[in-house]
Amino acid sequence: MARPRRIVLVRHGESEGNVDDTVYEREPDHALRLTETGRAQAVVAGEQLRALFGEEPVSAYVSPYRRTLQTFRALALDPARVRVREEPRLREQDWGNWQDRDDVRLQKAYRDAYGHFFYRFAQGESGADVYDRVGAFLESLYRSFEAPDHPPNVLLVTHGLTMRLFCMRWFHWSVAEFECLSNPGNGEYRTLLLGDDGRYRLDRPFERWITPQSYDLDG
């Protein structure tokens, strides 16, 4: 098994929805574009990733949303060294329809009170749903490591919540631990590094917005 030395998760650059939440009333979430600031963030991330990967090959998986595809293109990685696939399981948490701004703000307030992992948006997904499909993607990713010529680098261009849930699944974090974590900033990335002991470690933690609340497994 040729496990990669590093697995890099990149959040898309700033999108239209990050600066104007009324756009969801007119455009589908998956169709939102990067802003000029978002493109600039992706360009900076690309400079850092090209230095990180050097001359090594990369296996890349990209969410099918427009803003993630645009982010990947703006990274400007060498196409001769990158094998890229569109991966729907790495998409954003689905809302399932156009969104009314006031209703969304209310639902997000409910989610903050109820819990980000279990709360299900009307007509959409819960964090637990995203966790399940990320887990299914991980099974496919593990199988790809069986190829003896698998690249030493894996790149995932995705969304903030999906990044956190990927790490939750990979490192077996509890729901309570997940609930306390904040999304990385637009255009930021985290890297899972393979150590000499055969275990992966996160290069830097996600910021916390609350102290995790733990529950006793015995009740």
pLDDT, tens digit (0-9, with 9 covering 90-100), for 144-177: 999 999 999 999 999 999 999 999 999 999 999 9
Segments of the chain with pLDDT less than 70 = 1, 212-219
Return the domain boundaries, the chain: 6-202
30 is catalytic: no
What pLDDT does 217 receive?
54
The encoded tokens of residue 45 equal 């991330």
CA angle 34, 38, 178 (to 5 degrees): 95
pLDDT for 93: 95
| Rg for the chain, CA atoms, rounded | 18
Query: Which is catalytic among the residues 14, 16, 92, 188?
Result: 92
Question: What is the predicted pLDDT for the residue at 77?
Answer: 98
What integer pLDDT is reported at residue 99 of this predicted model?
Answer: 86
> What are 46-58's pLDDT values in tens digits?
999 999 999 999 9
The pLDDT value given to residue 98: 87
- pLDDT at res. 216: 55
Contact in structure between 2 and 147 (CB atoms under 8 Å)? yes
Q: Which of 12, 87, 125, 159 is catalytic?
A: 12
Q: Kindly report the number of other CB atoms within 10 A of residue 62's CB atom.
A: 22
Q: Which CATH class is domain 6-202?
A: alpha beta
Instruction: Verify whether residue 116 is a known catalytic residue.
Output: no
pTM for the model stands at 0.94
